Structure 1
Amino acid sequence: MIDKPDPISISAADIEEIRNLFLRQAAGETAQDIRVIESVLARTPPGQPDPVNFVARAYRFWGREAVIDHFRTVFKGTWRFEPDEDEIRILPLGPDTAHIYAPTRITVGAAGEESATYNFLVNEIAIRTAEGWRISAIVPVPAQ
C-alpha cells in the first residue's frame, strides 16, 4: 500500500507565511495603509469568481474592491487592529486553504469623534494564490 499525503496538511513554512501575512495586515490596518490592505487581499484571474468578502454583524462586503472601499472609509477616522499575537491560531482546511483565528482589540471612531475599543474573535480564511498566501474572507465576531 502506498502512503498518500494528508490532503489537509500544509507545511510549517506555509503556517509561518500565513501568520506573517495576518500580522502584516494588522500592522497595515493600524497604520491605515490602504496599499497594505490591497497587497494582502486575494486577487483572482479574469473570469474567476472573486473570493474576497468581509462579513460582520453590522455589514457585509462582497468582492475585493468593496472590502478595500470599506477600509478606505474606516481609515478616515480612528482605526487600530491589535491581535493578541500569542493567541493566533492557523488551522489548515486543505492544501491551499487555512483558517486564521485571532482574539483582537479593535479601536474605532469616526473622524472627529471619540473612539472606543472592542474585543473581537477575528476569523479569516487565507488561500494559496499565484502570488502566495492571501486573505479571502474576514469575519470578526464580537467577544464578551
Structure 2
Amino acid sequence: MQSLARTFIGSLGVVAIFATTGPNAAADPLDTESFTELRQLYKQIIDAENAHDVKAVAPYVWDSPSTLFVAKTSDPSQGNWAGFWGKDVVLAHFGALYKGTFHMAPDYTRERIVGLTKDVAETYVPLQISVSYAGQNPAPKPFLMIVEWIKTLQGWRMATDIALPVPPAPPKHP
C-alpha cells in the first residue's frame, strides 16, 4: 500500500511539474474581454492615424510623461531615430508625420496580444508603412509594430509605440 501511495504522489509531482512548465504554464493574466477590447483599440488607433486625425488619436494615448514613441527624426542632432517622450510630444510628432504621406497597413492575421499583467499588455503586428516624413521615400516598407498598453481608470491607453523597420534580407552568396 505504501508503494502505491508513493507512486500516486510521484505521479502527482510529475503532473504538477508538467502543469507549471508545459505550453500553458503561465496563464495569460488578461480576460477575453480585455483581448477583444485591445484588438478593437489597436484597429481604431490605426484607423485614426491613417485618417491623419491627431485629435482622434489623442484619447488612445496614455497621459503621462513616460509615454514613448520611437520613430524617425527630422533633426540630425537627434540621430536617425529617437524616442519621443510624453503625450504632448508624441502627439506633436504624430502631427508632423501626418503632414505628408502616411499610411499603415497592418497584417491583422499576424496580430498577437499578450498580457504582461492584468493592467499591462503588448500588441505585436507586422505591417507596411508608407511615410514621406523627413525626406523618406513614401513607398510601403515593412515594419514590426510593438505597442505597450496600460489600463488606467479611463480604460486601456497606449503607453509605448515602437515601429521597427525590417531591414532588407542580406544578399545570398553562391
TM-score range, shorter chain: 0.7 to 0.9
Structure 2 stretches lacking a partner, 5+ long: 1-25, 73-80, 168-174
Aligned to 1:42: 62
For 1:16-35, what aligned pairs fall within 5 Å after superposition? 16-35=36-55
- In 2, Cα distance between the equivalents of 1:113 and 1:85? 25
**Structure with greater helix share of residues:** 2
- How far apart are residue 51 of structure 1 and its match? 2.7
Change (3 A) 1:7 1:112: closer
Q: Deviations over 1:103-139 (max 9, x none)?
A: 0111011499862211101001011011111100011
Aligned to 2:66: 51
Equivalent pair of 1:51/1:63 in contact (CA under 8 Å): yes
Aligned to 1:3: none
Which has the larger Rg? 2
Q: Deviations over 1:48-79 (max 9, x none)?
A: xx231112361210111110000111111010
Q: TM-score, normalised by structure 1?
A: 0.85
Q: TM-score, normalised by structure 2?
A: 0.71
Structure 1 stretches lacking a partner, 5+ long: 1-5, 45-49
Equivalent pair of 1:77/1:112 in contact (CA under 8 Å): no
Identical counterparts, % of pairs: 30
Which one scores higher on RCO, CA 8 angstroms, separation ≥ 6? 1
1:98 aligns with 2:121: yes
Equivalent pair of 1:120/1:141 in contact (CA under 8 Å): yes
Aligned residue pair count? 134
DSSP-derived class of the 2:29 partner? coil
Q: CA RMSD in A?
A: 2.2
Aligned to 1:143: 166
Aligned to 1:115: 138
Equivalent pair of 2:96/2:133 in contact (CA under 8 Å): no
- In 2, Cα distance between the equivalents of 1:76 and 1:94? 36
Instruction: Tell me which amino acid in the other structure corresponds to 1:60.
Output: G
Change (3 A) 1:93 1:116: same
- In 2, Cα distance between the equivalents of 1:59 and 1:10? 31
Question: What stretches of structure 1 move > 4 A for 4+ residues in a row?
Answer: 110-114
Equivalent pair of 2:113/2:122 in contact (CA under 8 Å): yes
For 1:67-78, what aligned pairs fall within 5 Å after superposition? 67-78=90-101
Change (3 A) 1:113 1:56: closer
- In 2, Cα distance between the equivalents of 1:92 and 1:63? 23
